[in-house]
Structure 1
Amino acid sequence: MARTAAVVGGGIGGLAVAIGLRRAGWAVSVFERGPSLPDTGTGLGIWPTALAALDALDALGVGEEARRRGRPQGSGLIRRPDGSRIAAIDVDRVVRRAGEPVRLLARPDLLHLLAGALPPGLVQFGVRITDPAPLTREFDLVVGADGIHSDVRRALCGDRFPVRYAGVVAWRGTAAMDIATGGETWGRGARFGLTPQGPGVTNWYATLAVTEGYRPPDGDRAGLLRRFGEWHDPIPRLLAGLRDGEILRHDVCDLTPLPGYVTDRVALLGDAAHAMTPDLGQGACQALIDAAVLADCLGGGVPVPVALRAYDRCRRRRTQRLAAVARRVGRLAQARRFTPARDVLVRLALAVGPPA
């Protein structure tokens, strides 16, 4: 008789681990609080290690389909507000190290790709699980993949390991614009990023070092134009073409490091376990790798407590180290003082190369 697993959360990590567990012979149910998969969202950079995780999760070609749908990310620049160059982002280095590029894939496309590898009806939408205890009596395993504000984590840990404000508020969205290359522009306590997503579509984001919960008094678009309107082209032009309803705003947060990701019957993965700031572009990638490792540990009839401890040993230190680096990179990029020294440091860091 197949072992049973309940996955709380139908995002990238939850859908991915459901695929992997089913491949390992488990009977899986996924509970997602949202009403359906989203149809809108910005792009994600899927690194070679995450593509390899997709290959490991599914023999039916999810990894290859992600490669087909994704657009290879090109090299870019980190610049100052006047357009002068701080450093180059050499994405070709990733190809030389890993054998393939980072792929840019819109979040909804990745979610629909993962969901399409599962049987219809396996994901139950509109179901919020606030306490995993009843699930542990019904299922052999419970996976908390329910995001940074995880109810499963709160049930396990209480409020001892809170979500932390990282010191910046972010705005993001897509714009009907073509750009030749992407990259970031770093000012004093402010940053603006651009990434080509596809023909006629550009991902953009902006961050400001402000108090938690900050809202521009005259609206997001006007506030962004006031802060970034004199930066180099095409930033003012992009912002001028937006409407307030197209702009997403949120506080940037990460998670206080947990002493463990598992109990005997419950495992946390993705943002529920190690939510990190977006400064390394690794959040979705690490959720996919978590899913592949967890499914692998739980294969072959290994007892659940033993498998979960192996997963924790494999993933906790690695992901918490990445989260700490991401937080430091964010602080460096948002520096208000000593920006010439900051620019030297980032050139040295990029000379070593990004994480593959």
Structure 2
Amino acid sequence: MGVSSGAGSGAGSGAGTSARAIIIGGGIGGVTAGIALQQAGIDVIMLERAEELQEVGSGLPLWTNALSALQKLGLAEAIEAIGIPATAVKVSNWRGGILADLRSEDLFKELGTISTVVHRAELLAALLNAFDQEKVQLGATCVGFRQDTEHVYARLAGGQELAADLLIGADGLHSTIRAQLFGAQKPTYAGYTCWRGVADIDSTGLGTWTWGKGYQFGITPMTNDRAYWFAQRYTPEGMQDKECGRKCEVLELFNDWHDPIPRVIQATKEEHILRNDVYEQKHLRHWSHGRVTLLGDAAHAMTPNLGQGACLAIEDAIVLATCLKTTSDVVSALKLYETLRIRRTYSIAQFARLMGWVVQLGNPLVSGIRDGIAKRIPEEVLSKSLMWILEYKTPDLRPGDVQNPGQEVQKRSIVRPETLKL
């Protein structure tokens, strides 16, 4: 069954239905949702408040779960063209002492695909190439919505209203749609700030993740001659950049850390370094009401410690499209969608928060104990601790592949391990 425009109808009209969706937000999650919905036979209008569709200039890890999802949208070759596989990550202390050596060929040998780091702007461009860009309205700020039993209406800043069968809030951390659905909630400051950069450097062998005392630093090859890096430290909320600039500040913080960290920072142009305080949103027990739902950071903004934010938004998009394609009406489809997604995203958000705490332990004695324990944990055990996240498979959107999306996704979803019950 496909989506029908009537909220209470018992049968849909197939994948070629005239159902229409409005997506608020033209970021990675929103555009992926647009592609997935179009492939499911649903008409899409995307509203983006910016005058130009663009992403910030930094790297983005696409883990196996996201790569698998993008492959189902026919985007495997496009992703291969803009990134290179991550083959190994050495976990070390700030002096360079090895705590673990994680090799992707071992970690992902059962999964069929491996991790790839891409430039966010290049990923968005690849996604837009697969989306009907005539369906995008730029400079369109959605200030709210209203709905009845038959339709939902997006209200624009100029007073115009657009009608559709469903509305998807993919409008990020400070989501207007989330605020109207569940009340305005100030994001929670995680306690640390994050610098991100892209260095022009030979990236061979630069896969490192360094744990410090209140700090962490990670480097991942993005192309043969570019490397993505990030740095985090505990700091009061809202601290301003130093007068000397971000590059100067990061060098001051990490100049005595092991090679290649100072070298990678030196190889980064000032304008290629971004900084933002890290926030997460309060867990929601529901994402949907009537014909309106949330996706990506609007639904489950989390800390970046597992690199899963965009990956989960991509998963959301395909699960949502599959539910709409195979469920009898919009309201039921959105309820199924949130049922399938909330537990998984909540578990990963908790795990990401835990990892940030462990990696950035500030007490020298406790962080030393942490490092000693990490050295003694078999690398296979460390790798397997991520499998419950990475082996998740979204359902296929091809006709006939998914008769019951709930059964399909639940069968493949791995419940979070007991160690996460803090």
CA–CA separation in structure 2 for the residues paired with 1:126 and 1:145: 16
- The equivalences for 1:211-290 within 5 A come to 211-218=236-243, 219-290=245-316
The 3-state SS of whatever aligns with 1:205 is strand
Output the amino acid matched with 2:317. A
User: How many positions carry a matched residue from both structures?
Assistant: 352
CA–CA separation in structure 2 for the residues paired with 1:350 and 1:268: 33
Counterpart among 187, 195, 198 of residue 174 in structure 1: 198
Counterpart among 122, 146, 154 of residue 171 in structure 2: 146
User: In structure 2, what is the equivalent of residue 97 of structure 1?
Assistant: 110
- The equivalences for 1:288-327 within 5 A come to 288-300=314-326, 302-327=328-353
**Structure number, greater radius of gyration:** 2
CA–CA separation in structure 1 for the residues paired with 2:116 and 2:242: 37
TM-score relative to the length of structure 1: 0.93
Q: Shift in Å at residue 243 of structure 1?
A: 4.6
1:53 aligns with 2:69: yes
CA–CA separation in structure 1 for the residues paired with 2:108 and 2:285: 35
CA–CA separation in structure 1 for the residues paired with 2:305 and 2:339: 25
Identity of matched residues, %: 37
Task: Classify 1:263/1:288 alpha carbon distance in 2 versus 1 (closer, same or farther; 3 Å).
Answer: same
1:7 aligns with 2:23: yes
Assess if the C-alpha contact under 8 Å between 1:130 and 1:155 holds in 2: no
User: In structure 1, what is the equivalent of residue 408 of structure 2?
Assistant: none
The 3-state SS of whatever aligns with 1:281 is coil
1:129 aligns with 2:154: no
1:243-273 CA-partner distances (Å, limit 9, x unpaired) = 5433211001111101111111111011110
TM-score relative to the length of structure 2: 0.79
The 3-state SS of whatever aligns with 1:169 is strand
Q: Shift in Å at residue 319 of structure 1?
A: 0.3
Task: Classify 1:229/1:310 alpha carbon distance in 2 versus 1 (closer, same or farther; 3 Å).
Answer: same
The answer to which of 122-131 and 316-325 deviates more is: 122-131
The alignment yields a C-alpha RMSD, in angstroms, of 1.9
Task: Classify 1:131/1:346 alpha carbon distance in 2 versus 1 (closer, same or farther; 3 Å).
Answer: farther
The answer to which of 175-184 and 3-12 deviates more is: 175-184
1:132-160 CA-partner distances (Å, limit 9, x unpaired) = 3278231110000011111111111112x
CA–CA separation in structure 2 for the residues paired with 1:39 and 1:280: 20
User: In structure 2, what is the equivalent of residue 78 of structure 1?
Assistant: 91
1:194 aligns with 2:219: yes
Counterpart among 155, 163, 169 of residue 187 in structure 2: 163
Q: Shift in Å at residue 288 of structure 1?
A: 0.6
Assess if the C-alpha contact under 8 Å between 2:107 and 2:383 holds in 1: no
Assess if the C-alpha contact under 8 Å between 1:37 and 1:108 holds in 2: no
Q: Shift in Å at residue 113 of structure 1?
A: 1.3
1:33 aligns with 2:49: yes
1:36-55 CA-partner distances (Å, limit 9, x unpaired) = 22266222222222122223
The answer to which of 232-241 and 262-271 deviates more is: 232-241
Unaligned runs of 5+ residues in structure 2 are 1-16, 154-162, 391-422
The answer to which of 333-342 and 307-316 deviates more is: 333-342
Task: Classify 1:241/1:49 alpha carbon distance in 2 versus 1 (closer, same or farther; 3 Å).
Answer: closer
Q: Shift in Å at residue 341 of structure 1?
A: 2.2
CA–CA separation in structure 1 for the residues paired with 2:267 and 2:82: 27
Q: Shift in Å at residue 181 of structure 1?
A: 2.6
CA–CA separation in structure 1 for the residues paired with 2:336 and 2:133: 31
Output the amino acid matched with 2:175. S
Unaligned runs of 5+ residues in structure 1 are none
